[in-house]
Every structure is written in structure tokens, then in C-alpha cells.
Amino acid sequence: MERDTSALRLPARLTLAIAAALGLAVVVNLLVVSPGDTPGRDAGLLASAFAAGGVAAVLRAAHARWRLEDVVLVAGLVPYALGWVYWAAVLQPLADPPYPSAADLLWVVLYPCAVVVLVLQAAAGVRLRSTFLLDVAIGSLGATSAVAGIFAPALAGSGQEQSVLSVNGLYLAGDATLLLLTFSVLAIHRFSVPVHLWLRAAAVVVFVITDAMFLPAVAASGVIAPEGLLNVGWLTAFGLMVASVGWQVPVSPPASRPRWSVLIVPLAGTVVALAVLVRNAGQSPLAHWVAAAAVLLAIARMGVAFLQVDALAVHRELSVTDELTGLANRRGFYRAAQRHLDDGGAATLVLLDLDHFKEVNDTLGHGAGDALLALVAQRITAVARRHADARKGDVVARLGGDEFAVLFSGVSPAEGREVTRRLTTALAATYDVEGIRVRVSAAAGMVHSPADGRDLDELLRRADVAMYASKSAGNGPAEYHPELDSRSREHLVQVEQVRAALGEGRLVLHYQPRVELRTGAVTGVEVLARLTGPGGILLLPDDFLDLLAHDGQMVELTALVLDRALAQARLWRDNGRALTVAVNVPSMAFIDGDLVGDVQRALTRHGLDGGALVLEMNRVVVPVDHRAARATLTALRELDVQVSIDHYGTGYSSLAYLRDLPLAEIKLDPSFVAAMVDQPRAAQIVDASVALAHRLGMRVVAAGVETQAAAAAARDRGCDQ
């Protein structure tokens, strides 16, 4: 069984802290209060303390499973400790030790490692900016120029070699860089950081103070004895760094990053560099060039900042723009429209939804659908511009899919109705999409502000209710009024009732006979679908077809009708009546899905051949993908299933269907059948259609024959059924 050690972590850390404090107290007592008579003892004690700290750092990193920042920090702490060991064992016994020495090379390793650790901490929980390292370089050069241009000249008359002052000045410059970085890290995280980051911050502060005291001290005496507060300062800072290793507490990302935190390091470095350039003119070439480099980097940083601001403006514009149409997107519409509504001006909000866009998208492809949306956007924009004239308050947006919104500002309700009427009229004109003439219309719902409110969400909801009323009525734009809310709720109830009726199989099929006009014999039937609604009320197609289409359940309805109709045909055949059944199928089924497979499986299930079935293609409202439809019809013909085109004479491109599709019959629209009794022009159109169909080998069915006169006229015109 694994032992839970989580309860031991706090006592272990407390024990380590107490032991470190006691150890430091002993060292302070030996080095400062009662130093020994021989420097060797004090140097050895100091080296032993650093070596023990280095070992402790390695052990703590191993215990924490070698986290990246621990590994990097230990890579600086161990050489730092070895530098003190080298100093005590090799340099301290010498009467005139070299300076700088190999110990300095070991000590200086800590600085780049500490910088890397601080960069990792700056990135913890936040996205590190691409300019962060440039900011670090500006701060480092600024600190170096300060040491070279201010501190070093002040100590130049001490008699010490320049190399001695330069090396120790480099330490102080590194300390200043670490101090700036540390403060920046704390500020980025709003000073809400774990304890180990505060330990590192304290270590950096102690390093800065100790090295600042050491530079004038070494300039004055040239040598520092093992005993004294300076060595205790370095040991304290080293101990704080060691204590910060191995903490397994993640740095939580700040709720929001303070903007001023990104300016601390580059701003401080630039100010210091400018001060050095002004104060140190002509005195120290090194300080001058380092400060100049810092200022040049700061100028480059400003250039990068300008580019970032420009890119941010572009991204901000893109974030509120619809990529396909160039109109405002939903976010952009909300921002602009709400701003106008807050100003208190009158406005009309129009919500548009394209009719039959899905058919275009499915038949001609997504590329054609995108092209159509772009053309629609151009027309909406053109109408809005003509209406707006010199005003800039109108907002046009694509909210998503085939849904658009327009806010006409500064208009009365009457003006809003008129411009909405012009808008829907413009959208109803044909479009040239990839060389094909396409016609789509748009359902439009409008609301007026302030009459219908000023809250944009509520206005959009009400416009949506009106838009669906427009779509249901099919007679132009609809204006919101409170009664539509109850109708909208009724619509949802109706959708649910129809969905439930279909799901529960409450489908009723009626059969209308097909009669051979020459003989009067009934040779087949046309299937008429009905649904049993609440209370046993029989729902006619007009009551449920649109609801099911909007709910995406036409496929289920078609499959159920097909199965039931073929089951009835099987029953009739078993009773000696070989009647064909004609089932109405949505036109999109001939290019989408697996209509051929569905038909074949249904025929097999009921033991029928394809001659028992006629599929009637619904009236088509947009050009169909003839290639896909032809492939489907050819496969159906191989099954001996016949296909008829319903409502012939209405819709679009009927002649193209006769040319391209292997049809078995055409079914004249009832409007022509009723009119040919007493309208010569209608009779002539029927004559021409019958002659054309017969020459193409097709039957002609006259739909909607309800009187003897209509039957006689159909027979006289040459109709077959």
C-alpha cells in the first residue's frame, strides 16, 4: 500500500527552513561575531556552506522530478557553489591571487540561468509576448550602461585595475537586470505568486545590495577577507535561491494581465540609458556605446509596437467582419447596432432568411452557395446605400448561414416598411451563379425601435418571430406584433405534434385512382399522405409538410409512405388487382441520400417488382444537379421503376428536365387542366406539351380532373390518364 506523504510536506519544509536558519546563524557567528585567527578556517567554512547548499539544490530538484525551471536554476547554483569551493581551496591560500579568476567564470553562470528561469516564470499561465526577449535586452543594456557610465567612473581613481572594476560592475549590471525582470514577473502575475517566487525575489534583492556594497569595497582595498557581512550576504542570497528549488506549486494565470507590467523592463532600461548618454558624454566610450545600443533597441521596440498595434487593428476589424461577404458578422452587428440604439435614434431592424438556399447549396455545390451569398450581400448593401444616401448609421450583417440582418437608422416605421419592401423585391430577382440563372427569395421580419424596444437581443428575437411568420405566409415581409409571439409558440407546439404523429406511426394513406382516359379503366393509384393529429383530427399535407421540411424529417416521411404504399400494393396484388402506386418524393431525394437503395430494399421487402411503383418528383424550385439526378433516374429505370415529373408547367427549366432526365411521364399542373376547359391559350399549351411528351416517349397525366368537362378536355387534348 502506498503511503500518503502529503501531510509530511509542510513539516519537512518547516524543518528545512529551521535547519537553514540555524546553519546561517552559526556561519554568521563564526564569520562576523567571532571570526577565527586563520583565514583558512573561515574560507573552508564558507565553502562548505556553499557546497552543502549546492547538494541540497540537486536533491530538491530530484525530489520534484526535475522540473524544467528547477533544472535550469540548479545548472546555475551548482557552478556558483563550485566557484566558492575553488576560491577557498585554490585562491584563498595564494598571497596574490589572480583577479578576475576561474571562480568568476563559475559565479557568472548563475546570471543567465536566473534570467531563463525568470522568463519561464513570466510565461507561466500567460502567453509570452514575442517582444519579451527584446525587452530583456533593453533592460540589460540599460543596467550595464549605468554601471559602466556612472559607477565605474566614480571608482576609477581607486587605483584598482580596470578589469577588477569591470568584472564586479558586470555582476552589478546582472543584478540590476535580474531585479527588473523579477519585478516584471511579479507585476505580470499581479504579485499573487507562490512562496518560492518570493524567495527568488528576495535572493535577487540581497544579491543587488551585496554586490553594490562590494564594488566600492573592492575598489578601496582590492581584497575581501573570508569573514565579514559581504560573504554572509552572498551566502544568504544563495540559500534563498536553493530554498526556492523543488516547489511543486504551479503559478496560476492572472485573471487579467496589467498593461503597465510589460513596460517596466524596457522603460527602465531606456530611461537609464538616456541618462547615461546625457551624463556621460565623452567620458566612457564603453558606456556610451552600450547606452546607444539600448536606445536603438528601444526605438526598434517602438517600431515593433507600432506594427503590433496596426496588426491588432486589422485583427480587430477581421473579428467583426464576415470573411465570405465582407459584411459585419454577428459580433460586429451587435456592437454597431447596440451603439446606435443606445443613442436613442429611431430605427427599423430587418431579419432576412433566404428561401431555397439549401437546394442551391446541395445541388450546385458549396462553392456556388458561397457565390450566391456574396451576391445577396451585394444587393442588400446596394439597397441600404441607396436608402442611406449621406448617412452612415445603417448596419448590414450576415449573422450566419443564409441569415442576414439590416438596421435602417433614422427611419419611421412607414419608411422602414417601404425600404424593407424594396429590399425583398431586389433579393427576389434572379442571380447568375456559375453561369446558371438561380432565383431565391427571402423571408423578412421587421421590428421598429423604440416602439418595439431598444434592447437588441429582444429586438432580434421579435424580428425572428416576424421572419418565421413571413416564411410561413409566403406573401412578403412580416411586421412584428404581440400576437405573433403566441403564434410562434403555437408553431413550436405544432412542430412537436407533427413530429410525435410521425414518430408514433400515425400516418394515414388515401389513394386517388388513376384512370385510363381512353378506356376508363383504373390502372393505378396516387398516394395522398395524411397524419392523425391531436384528438383524431386528420391533418392535410398543407398542415404538416412545411413543418416536417423545416424540422428535417422529410426523409423519414418519404420512407414511411413508400413502405406503407408498397405494402398496400402487395395486398391488392394478392387479391388480384395489379395496381401501380405513385408516391410523391421530394426532388432533393433524387440527388441526396440513397433513394435507389431505399426503393430496392422496400420492393424486396414486399416482394414486388419495380413496375409496381411510380415516383413523382416534386415541383423543383431551383435548377437541379442534372448529372446526379440522371444517374439516380437511370438506376431506378434499371429496377423498372418509373419516374414522373409533378406539377409540369410550373417551376423552372421544365424543358431542360425533359431533355436531360430519363422520365416516364409528365404530370400536368392542375392549373392548366382546369384552365384548358374554357381558355384557348391554356388548351394550346396543353396540346403542345402532350405532343412533345409523346414524341419523347412519355405518358401525360392530367392532375386534378374533378369534372366530366375536365375529363373530356383532357381526353380530347390527348392526355393518357
Please state which of the ranges 449-458, 524-533, 620-629, 688-697 shows the lowest mean pLDDT.
620-629
How crowded is the C-beta side of 494, counted as CA atoms within 13 Å? Answer: 17
Distances (CA, A) of 46 to 102, 225, 596: 18, 11, 91
**Cell digits of residue 252:** 496560476
Q: Which CATH class is domain 500-663?
A: alpha beta
Which residues are paired to 405 by β-bridges? Answer: 351, 397
Q: What band does 10 get if pLDDT is binned at 50, 70 and 90? A: very low
Please tell me the distance from the alpha carbon of residue 524 to that of residue 520, in angstroms, as a whole number: 12
Q: Give the rounded percent of residues in the chain with a pLDDT score beyond 90.
A: 8
Mean confidence (pLDDT) of the chain: 78
- 497: Cβ contacts below 8 Å, ≥ 6 apart: 533, 534
SS3 at position 640: coil
Output the CATH code of domain 330-481: 3.30.70.270
| 288-323 residue pLDDT tens | 777 777 788 878 777 777 776 676 666 666 677 888
What is the domain partition of the chain in residue ranges? 109-193+251-319, 330-481, 500-663
Q: What is the mean pLDDT of residues 512-516?
A: 90
Q: For 89, which DSSP code?
A: I
Give the per-residue pLDDT at 525.
92
Please tell me the distance from the alpha carbon of residue 321 to that of residue 353, in angstroms, as a whole number: 19
Which residues are paired to 438 by β-bridges? Answer: 431
Please tell me the distance from the alpha carbon of residue 598 to that of residue 266, in angstroms, as a whole number: 71
**Cell digits of residue 306:** 507600432
Q: Answer for the pair 223, 98: CB distance below 8 angstroms, yes or no.
A: no
Please tell me the distance from the alpha carbon of residue 484 to that of residue 353, in angstroms, as a whole number: 17
**Cell digits of residue 89:** 581551496
Q: What band does 12 get if pLDDT is binned at 50, 70 and 90? A: very low
**Cell digits of residue 223:** 581584497
Same CATH fold assignment for domains 330-481 and 500-663? no
Q: Count the neighbouring beta carbons within 10 Å of the beta carbon of residue 245.
A: 27
- 332: Cβ contacts below 8 Å, ≥ 6 apart: 319, 320, 321, 322, 397
* Backbone angles phi and psi of 694, in degrees to 5: -65, -40
Q: What band does 490 get if pLDDT is binned at 50, 70 and 90? A: low
| 450-459 residue pLDDT tens | 888 888 888 8
- 398: Cβ contacts below 8 Å, ≥ 6 apart: 322, 324, 325, 327, 328, 329, 373, 377, 404
Q: Per 3-state DSSP, what percentage of the chain is helix, strand, and coil (rounded to 5)?
A: 65, 10, 25
Q: What is the mean pLDDT of residues 340-356?
A: 85
- Cell numbers 596574490: residue: 96
Q: What is the pTM of this model?
A: 0.48
Q: Answer with the residue of higher pLDDT: 337 or 316.
A: 337
Distances (CA, A) of 422 to 382, 407, 417: 11, 14, 9
| 582-618 residue pLDDT tens | 998 887 777 766 888 889 999 999 999 999 999 988 7
Judged on CB neighbours under 10 Å (0-12, 13-18, 19+), 282 is exposed
Give the per-residue pLDDT at 9.
45
Q: What is the mean pLDDT of residues 92-115?
A: 84
